[in-house]
Amino acid sequence: MPVAHSGLGWPDLPPSEHATGVGWPEKGVSRQRIPATGTPRVERMATVTQTPLNPGDSPLVREALNSVVSRETPATKLPIQAGDSFLDDSWPKPAKTRVIAVANQKGGVGKTTTSVNIAAALSMKGERVLVVDLDPQGNASTALATEHRGDVPDVYQVLVDDLPMADIVKQVPDMPNLYCAPATIDLAGAEIELVSLVAREARLRRALAAYDAVDFDYVIIDCPPSLGLLTVNALVAADEVMIPIQCEYYALEGLGQLLRNVDLIKAHLNPTLRLSTIVLTMYDGRTRLASQVADEVRAHFGDTVLSTVIPRSVRLSEAPSYGQSVMTYDPGSSGAMAYMDAAREIAHRAMV
């Protein structure tokens, strides 16, 4: 197969229907800054309150601008409108549950880290979130301090033995809006056992439907590093696919195969499935390769790629061993702030 781009391991990607994904709600609104001096105060504030946040803004810039508003806002003089996106950081709730499969058949690209931290970030903003651990390694369960050893009922029993989802879902400790459906090592057998079962591709979809997932704003499915029946179950159950791409050489190999599988599932098993989100992970700003990979991915997939990139951060890799997401382990770390920004982008895309 010909390689489409410049030596970065690009696969033979299908035509770029994926390039026209969803955009940021405030896209196209040009950024206005606060005039430094010389403008009457009320006029100046009026400019500020109309200024939307930009997805590219760093948390520091946001903090700085927010503090300008809160310091300068005279409670009696400046009418602050409810729903003003600049001042009100509440996130929109999706009209119906968004089921998002986090998939990439490559291991170690950040699927679990992304699933867990996006889920935690959303839950901290008041969204009700369920993480379904679909990887026999159980890494997401570990990171969410959800028991997944021994006889604990798990996703395997839901998929293979028809156990109701309600019997396995646990609330994540100290995270009131976050829930986890754990995976034990038993799940490793499911790839084979599913083969002979009725509706083998739709077992997770059925289980979620029966579970009345309506209660959740988000269901995030952490897929295993393969394109087998477990990942197929995730893609059949989901409305959206989120693909984490590691900003490294070879990162894009195999992507064509994943996208073809998404298209096949869309054509035959789940017509509403769409590639909604690509998130660039483990970005090391010091290397040219990382920015080259990021540029190539953006050139091909356009707005499907989140503006926020997830940097390499030791804190992100430490957090799971404490049974925590980085959002609680070290909320001020670069990784936590990036995942909060990424989650904000995802939440706002619900409006599109």
The contact set with Mg ion (CB under 5 A) reads 111-112, 135, 139
Distance CA 142, CA 119 (A): 14
Instruction: For the CB of residue 279, give the shortest distance to Mg ion in the complex, in Å.
Output: 14
Pairing of strands 178-181, 129-133: parallel
First and final C-alpha spacing in the chain? 36
Does 126 bind ligand ADP (CB under 6 A)? Our answer is no
Question: Length of the chain in residues, anyone?
Answer: 352
Nearest to 215 by CA among 272, 177, 180: 177
* Cβ-based nearer residue to Mg ion, 55 or 244: 244
Among 14, 107, 126, 176, binds ligand ADP (CB under 6 A): 107
Selected range binding ligand ADP among 23-31, 46-54, 110-118, 159-167, rule: CB under 6 A? 110-118
Selected range binding ligand ADP among 31-39, 48-56, 106-114, 287-295, rule: CB under 6 A? 106-114
Number of residues that bind ligand ADP (CB under 6 A): 17
Say which entry of ligand ADP, Mg ion, none residue 56 contacts (CB below 5 to 8 A, set by partner kind). Answer: none
Instruction: For the CB of residue 295, give the shortest distance to ligand ADP in the complex, in Å.
Output: 19
Does 281 bind ligand ADP (CB under 6 A)? Our answer is yes
Stretch 207-246 residues interacting with ligand ADP (CB under 6 A): 225
Instruction: For the CB of residue 64, give the shortest distance to Mg ion in the complex, in Å.
Output: 36
Which residue(s) pair with 298 in the sheet? Answer: none
Is residue 102 within 8 Å of 219, Cβ to Cβ? no
Selected range binding ligand ADP among 30-38, 102-110, 119-127, 228-236, rule: CB under 6 A? 102-110
Task: Give me 278's structure tokens.
Answer: 């690509």
Contacts of 102 (CB under 8 A, 6+ apart): 111, 114, 115, 220, 221, 222, 223, 242, 243, 244
Amino acid at 284: D
Instruction: For the CB of residue 259, give the shortest distance to ligand ADP in the complex, in Å.
Output: 17
Buried b (16+ CB within 10 A) or exposed e, 4-37: ebeebbbbebeeeebeebbebbeeeeeeeeeeee
3-state secondary structure of 331: coil
From residue 28 to residue 67, what is the string marking binding to ligand ADP with x (rule CB under 6 A)?
A: ----------------------------------------
Selected range binding ligand ADP among 2-10, 63-71, 259-267, 310-318, rule: CB under 6 A? 310-318
Does 177 bind ligand ADP (CB under 6 A)? Our answer is no
Nearest to 26 by CA among 242, 348, 339, 301: 348
Contact positions vs ligand ADP (CB under 6 A): 107-113, 139, 225, 281-282, 310, 312-313, 316-317, 335
